Amino acid sequence: MAYLTEAQLLSFREIYREKNQNRIFKEQRKQSADVTIFLSHSHLDKKLVEGLISYLAQFGLNIYVDWQDSNMPRVTNRDTATLIKEKIKDLNLFWILATKNAMNSKWVPWETGIGDLAKNGNVYIIPVSDNDGKFHGSEYLQLYRRIEIANDDQLASFRPNQNSGGIYLKEVMKSRGSFLY
CATH number of the CATH domain containing 39? 3.40.50.10140
Per-residue pLDDT of 35-44, as tens digits, reads: 789 999 999 9
Rounded Cα gap, residues 47 and 60, in angstroms: 20
Q: Is 103 in contact with 137 (CB distance < 8 Å)?
A: yes
Phi, then psi, of 18 in degrees rounded to 5: -65, -40
> Is residue 148 within 8 Å of 2, Cβ to Cβ?
yes
CB 57 within 8 A of CB 30: no
pLDDT, one tens digit per residue, over 75-123 is 999 999 999 999 999 998 999 999 999 999 999 999 999 999 999 878 9
pLDDT band at 171 (very low <50, low <70, confident <90, very high): confident
76: containing domain: 4-174
Q: Is residue 45 part of a domain?
A: yes
Summarize pLDDT for 56-71 with one digit per residue, the tens: 887 777 899 999 999 9
Domain count, the chain: 1
